């Protein structure tokens, strides 16, 4: 039972962390390397909220708002000139992550920090006590997945976005403002990144480099899953299980590597990942 | 193969991109070498030891530049090979002691282990149809796996603190300075010779246009794997040197952060220049060593900001900008001399059928784009493939030239079954394909593009540039008729549309193909150019006995030159025969939905 809950919450956390990256990759075919730094930024938002003695819940909307704001700035000033050079766009986002990371270090220092949990204690599931916050994250992941799927497939914005994904030239010719779609998706993706950072912070400590290990994992999950939120969820559940089994039965070190290595092998055998098939 | 000089090179014609090399280069090289020799008398001990490390990093930066700047493979993981080299030194000297034997063994191990890992990573990263993103993704995983492996090595690898306190070379700082500087100079020189050579053009071609490379018969994945293996080996040597000098090796040397720092050095220094990344690596390493104690965070912030600005505003990097006044910019080599390569023997009608397609079908799910295509073509035939839009003409061409394209059926080129083979194998069987849009190497000169076409016939020189450029007679004819022989030094993207089309045709003919596929060769050409192409194609078929197949909408053009006309409609061959038979048949009139054949109507 504990194993099952571990598995589901691991998958949920993976989904939360990767969804913002997928949002941006899906529309722009650009990997946002600043995602790791955005996670860190979200984590420090939670820390600020804790320091100010505000209700820990407040960190969620605050992080989302900060991320969207940062995303808007990045899109306007850095990404816009680089859409024709996708590999350079990746590099520029890496440079941005250095900048964000250093600004965080200069503001908060290098020391490990902690943030309050919005939901302390445990809940009892089938006669067993389990961390309430981890259970909450499963719920958050499901809600997030449903909301994003609804946004991308049910709304006008979603239809336009899919039009841009499929054929940007045609979409532009039909009067869809592809630039604005990109602007919105990038900002939203960045916001999801910081939100994810806030959400995962109570599970561990906080330091300026906390985003980097997550970045690679999230990156591989997105590459394997293609461009739908549902397939990302499936990927997270499958690979989350692998990670958990490997960590439980061998060493956590191997567990941490399992997602990256497995994804690389999956992509070598099925270059298009799970999405088409 | 006897080569006969037929055209004098346009020696006086220094077109764009072929400015003369001024005094700037020798002066800069001399200054650099002087610093390498005189360093120990100019610099203090602290700076000297920083420079020694910086030189090892500079070697690594050069290998990354060859991979990324020249070949277009963005890698974040080259640090892993450096780390392996460093650990080979550390582990060997710590566990086996320091002696002549362990030095040699350690060095061999550094090279072999890094090169083997490079080959493995290459196999994982480069295969047919792999996206460039994928290779970059693998390069991200590599240093993370490498670091974790080192961390989990327990006391044997020293875990997170690494290993230290092993005995190593008792050289003085001066000696180390000369060793590392000398090694860097040698690597730089060899790298420079290779990227300037004919083989080096291959790397740029891969960066510019992988599809064209593959349709010139070049096995792109194999070239990339070999390149990664070789650069990994060099990185291993640099790492071995670093580990031997510093006496400390830590997992960070194989890590992701160093891998990304390398990219920053190369980008700021100027990708695709070799010396730019070298200088970038040295200057930034030295600056980091001095500034990270006084303004640690601000310095990283400045680096990050500079990196973003350079990527957005100055993709060529900073140092080329500073050096421009020295006249180093845009140095192109001598223009080679055009010579004729003896045409291969032609025996029309004796060899196997040039093209033989049986029951070829292509479907996307339940939609059949092509079904049951049986088509034969002999040497000396000039076949016009016509049909309305969406009839499957282009798909049919793809099925002839790429074994993976069709769903069912068989294709034989000159008697050889193409099975599921990639385009480069089809090219080796005797196929040449000209695309509808000029598919050339945009940043190469005309001469270099033409040279690439001969890669399968003459192994390109690894360290030199051939002074002569050999082409078969019919390719020479195209080059001369269209005036390209006067523009051999011009960069391909500066040519007009018609010239680019002619260049691509000449490249395809340079392969000495037995079957030539052309997709709408007259689209967008002027009347004169159209006549020229017509003459060339006729002579290919009739004089040189090549088998030519063209997809064409211009029915007048087909009437003028084709010996046989094949009509494709809704994925099936509905008719074939002489042009007159075809256009006068009721069936074809119905297909083109009018009483008169469409092409005639338009042009009359």
Q: Give the ipTM.
A: 0.84
Note whether B559 and B579 are within 8 A (CB). Answer: yes
Distance separating alpha carbons of residues B409 and B58, to the nearest angstrom: 53
Residue A1 is classified by DSSP as -
pLDDT at A143: 93
Tokens of A127: 């006669």
Note whether B129 and A237 are within 8 A (CB). Answer: no
Q: How many residues does chain B have?
A: 604
* Residue with tokens 């260049």, as numbered in its chain: B503
pLDDT at B5: 39
pLDDT at B540 over 80: yes
pLDDT digits (tens, 9 = 90+) for B292-326: 777 777 888 888 899 998 888 888 888 777 766 65
* Residue with tokens 């990093």, as numbered in its chain: B57
Burial class of residue B339 in the structure, from the number of CB atoms within 10 Å of its CB (0-12 exposed, 13-18 middle, 19+ buried): middle
pLDDT at A94 over 70: yes
pLDDT at B332: 52
Distance separating alpha carbons of residues B254 and B145, to the nearest angstrom: 9
Q: What long-range pairs does A219-222 form, CB within 8 A, spacing at least 24?
A: A219/A21, A219/A31, A219/A35, A219/B137, A219/B140, A220/A259, A220/A260, A220/A263, A220/A264, A220/B137, A220/B141, A221/A14, A221/A18, A221/A259, A221/A263, A222/A18, A222/A21, A222/A22, A222/A25, A222/A31
- Which of B288, B304, B317 would best serve as a mutation to test chain A binding (most A beta carbons within 10 A)? B304
Note whether A145 and A233 are within 8 A (CB). Answer: yes
The candidate with the shortest Cα–Cα distance to B64, out of B218, B213, B258, is B258
pLDDT at B108: 95
Tokens of B112: 């072999």
pLDDT at B592: 72
pLDDT band at A70 (very low <50, low <70, confident <90, very high): very high
> A170 in the Ramachandran plot: left (φ > 0), alpha (ψ -120 to 50) or beta?
alpha
Distance separating alpha carbons of residues B223 and B127, to the nearest angstrom: 11
Q: Do domains B48-324 and B355-603 have the same CATH topology?
A: no
B260 touches chain A (CB under 8 A): yes
Residue A206 is classified by DSSP as B
Tokens of B7: 């055209």
Segment B8-33 shows an average pLDDT of: 56
In this complex, which of B129, B260, B308 lies closest to A96 when CB atoms are compared?
A: B308
Tokens of B309: 């600005």
The candidate with the shortest Cα–Cα distance to B363, out of B386, B410, B402, B395, is B395
The candidate with the shortest Cα–Cα distance to B441, out of B493, B501, B482, B489, is B493
Determine the topology of domain B48-324 in CATH: ABC transporter involved in vitamin B12 uptake, BtuC (1.10.3470)
Q: Give contacts of A101 with chain B, Cβ < 8 Å.
A: 300, 304
The candidate with the shortest Cα–Cα distance to B537, out of B560, B568, B567, is B560
Considering the four listed CATH numbers 3.20.20.70, 1.10.287.70, 3.40.50.300, 3.40.720.10, the one that applies to the domain covering B355-603 is 3.40.50.300
A126 touches chain B (CB under 8 A): no
pLDDT at B19: 43
Report, in this order, helix, strand and coil percent for chain A, each rounded to 5.
75, 5, 20
Could you tell me which residues are beta bridge partners of residue B356? B376, B412
Distance separating alpha carbons of residues B404 and A87, to the nearest angstrom: 28
pLDDT at B329 over 60: no
Residue B343 is classified by DSSP as P
pLDDT at B21 over 60: no
Distance separating alpha carbons of residues B431 and B424, to the nearest angstrom: 9
Q: Give contacts of A214 with chain B, Cβ < 8 Å.
A: none
Give A123 or B66, the one with higher predicted confidence.
B66
Segment B280-293 shows an average pLDDT of: 88
Domain boundaries defined on chain B: 48-324, 355-603
pLDDT band at B333 (very low <50, low <70, confident <90, very high): low
pLDDT digits (tens, 9 = 90+) for B545-598: 888 999 888 888 888 888 888 888 888 888 888 888 888 888 877 777 654 444
Note whether B218 and B455 are within 8 A (CB). Answer: yes
pLDDT at A39: 92
**Cβ of A78 and B297 within 8 Å?**
no
Note whether A250 and A240 are within 8 A (CB). Answer: no
Contacts of residue B433, Cβ cutoff 8 Å, sequence gap at least 6: B215, B397, B401, B423, B427, B508, B516, B517, B519
pLDDT at A5 over 50: yes
- Which of A98, A100, A106, A277 would best serve as a mutation to test chain B binding (most B beta carbons within 10 A)? A98
In this complex, which of B132, B134, B311 lies closest to A95 when CB atoms are compared?
A: B311
Distance separating alpha carbons of residues B135 and A268, to the nearest angstrom: 10
Tokens of B465: 């540039």
pLDDT band at B22 (very low <50, low <70, confident <90, very high): low
The candidate with the shortest Cα–Cα distance to B190, out of B263, B261, B278, is B278
Q: How many Cβ atoms are within 10 Å of A246's Cβ, its own excluded?
A: 20
pLDDT at B183 over 90: yes
pLDDT digits (tens, 9 = 90+) for A146-162: 998 888 888 888 888 88
B112 touches chain A (CB under 8 A): no
Q: Give contacts of A31 with chain B, Cβ < 8 Å.
A: 133
- Describe the crossing of helices A86-108 and B132-151 by its angle, rounded to 10 degrees: 40
Where would I find the H helices in B152-209?
Answer: 154-157, 173-196, 198-208
pLDDT band at B604 (very low <50, low <70, confident <90, very high): very low
Please give the share of chain B, as a percent, with pLDDT higher than 90.
22
CB contacts < 8 Å between A and B, how many? 94
The overall pTM is greater than 0.80: yes
pLDDT at B458 over 80: no
């Amino acid at each position: 039972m504990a194993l099952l809950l571990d598995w589901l919450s691991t998958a949920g956390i993976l989904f939360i962390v990767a969804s913002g990256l997928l949002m941006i990759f899906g529309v722009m075919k650009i990997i946002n390397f600043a995602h790791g730094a955005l996670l860190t930024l979200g984590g420090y938002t939670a820390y600020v909220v804790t320091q100010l003695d505000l209700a820990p819940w407040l960190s969620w909307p605050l992080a989302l708002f900060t991320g969207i704001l940062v995303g808007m700035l990045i899109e306007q000033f850095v990404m816009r000139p680089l859409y024709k050079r996708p590999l350079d766009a990746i590099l520029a986002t890496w440079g941005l992550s250095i900048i964000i990371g250093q600004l965080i270090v200069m503001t908060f220092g290098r020391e490990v920090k902690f943030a309050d949990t919005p939901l302390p204690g445990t809940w009892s599931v089938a006669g067993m006590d389990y961390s309430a916050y981890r259970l909450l994250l499963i719920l958050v992941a499901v809600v997030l997945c449903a909301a994003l799927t609804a946004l991308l497939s049910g709304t006008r914005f979603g239809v336009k976005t899919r039009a841009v994904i499929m054929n940007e030239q045609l979409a532009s010719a039909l009067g869809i403002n592809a630039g604005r779609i990109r602007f919105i998706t990038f900002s939203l993706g960045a916001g999801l990144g910081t939100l994810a950072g806030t959400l995962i912070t109570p599970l561990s400590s906080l330091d300026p480099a906390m985003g980097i290990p997550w970045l690679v994992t999230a990156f591989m999950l997105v590459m394997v899953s293609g461009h739908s939120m549902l397939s990302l969820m499936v990927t997270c559940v499958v690979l989350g299980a692998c990670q958990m089994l490997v960590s439980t039965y061998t060493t956590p070190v191997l567990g941490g590597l399992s997602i990256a290595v497995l994804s690389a092998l999956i992509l070598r055998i099925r270059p298009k990942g799970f999405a088409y098939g | 193969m006897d080569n006969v000089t037929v055209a004098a090179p346009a020696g006086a014609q220094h077109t764009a991109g072929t400015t003369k090399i001024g005094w700037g280069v020798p002066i800069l090289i001399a200054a650099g070498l002087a610093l390498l020799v005189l360093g120990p008398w100019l610099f203090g001990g602290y700076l000297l030891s920083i420079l020694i490390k910086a030189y090892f990093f500079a070697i690594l930066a050069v290998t990354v530049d060859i991979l990324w700047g020249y070949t277009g493979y963005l890698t974040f993981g080259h640090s892993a090979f450096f780390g392996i080299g460093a650990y080979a030194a550390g582990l060997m000297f710590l566990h086996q002691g320091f002696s002549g034997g362990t030095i040699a063994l350690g060095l061999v191990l550094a090279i072999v282990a890094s090169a083997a890992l490079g080959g493995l990573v290459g196999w994982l990263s480069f295969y047919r149809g792999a996206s460039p993103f994928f290779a970059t993704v693998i390069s991200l995983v590599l240093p993370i796996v490498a670091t974790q492996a080192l961390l989990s090595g327990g006391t044997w690898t020293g875990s997170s603190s690494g290993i230290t306190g092993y005995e190593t070379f008792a050289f003085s700082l001066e000696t180390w300075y000369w060793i590392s500087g000398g090694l860097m100079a040698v690597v730089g020189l060899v790298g420079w010779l290779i990227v300037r050579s004919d083989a080096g053009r291959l790397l740029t071609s891969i960066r510019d246009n992988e599809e064209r490379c593959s349709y010139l018969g070049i096995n792109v994945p194999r070239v990339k794997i070999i390149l990664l293996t070789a650069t990994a080996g060099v990185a291993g040597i640099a790492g071995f040197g670093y580990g031997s000098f510093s006496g400390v090796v830590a997992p960070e040397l194989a890590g992701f952060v160093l891998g990304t720092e390398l990219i920053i050095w190369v980008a700021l220094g100027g990708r695709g220049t070799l010396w730019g990344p070298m200088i970038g690596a040295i200057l930034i390493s030295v600056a980091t060593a001095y500034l990270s104690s006084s303004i640690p965070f601000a310095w990283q912030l400045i680096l990050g900001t500079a990196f973003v600005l350079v990527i957005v505003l100055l993709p060529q990097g900073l140092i080329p900008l500073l050096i421009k006044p020295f006249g180093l910019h845009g140095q192109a080599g001598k223009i080679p001399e055009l010579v004729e390569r003896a045409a291969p023997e032609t025996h029309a009608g004796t060899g196997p059928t040039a093209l033989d397609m049986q029951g070829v079908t292509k479907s996307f799910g339940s939609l059949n784009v092509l079904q049951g295509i049986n088509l034969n073509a002999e040497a000396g035939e000039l076949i016009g493939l016509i049909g309305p839009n969406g009839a499957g003409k282009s798909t049919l061409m793809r099925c002839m030239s790429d074994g993976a394209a069709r769903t069912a059926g068989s294709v034989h080129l000159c008697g050889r079954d193409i099975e599921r083979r990639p385009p480069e194998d089809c090219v080796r069987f005797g196929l040449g394909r000209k695309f509808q849009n000029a598919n050339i190497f945009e940043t190469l000169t005309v001469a270099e593009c033409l040279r690439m076409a001969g890669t399968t016939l003459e192994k390109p020189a690894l360290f030199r540039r051939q002074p002569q450029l050999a082409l078969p007679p019919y390719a020479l004819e195209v080059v001369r008729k269209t005036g390209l022989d006067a523009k051999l030094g011009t960069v391909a993207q500066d040519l007009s549309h018609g010239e680019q089309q002619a260049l691509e045709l000449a490249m395809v003919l340079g392969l000495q193909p037995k079957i030539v596929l052309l997709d709408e060769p007259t689209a967008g050409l002027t009347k004169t150019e159209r006549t020229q192409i017509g003459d060339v194609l006729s002579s290919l078929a009739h004089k040189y006995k090549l088998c030519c197949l063209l997809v064409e909408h211009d029915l007048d053009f087909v009437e003028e030159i084709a010996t046989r006309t094949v009509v494709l409609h809704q994925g099936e061959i509905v008719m074939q025969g002489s042009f007159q038979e075809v256009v006068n048949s009721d069936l074809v009139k119905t297909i083109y939905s009018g009483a008169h054949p469409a092409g005639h109507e338009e042009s009359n």
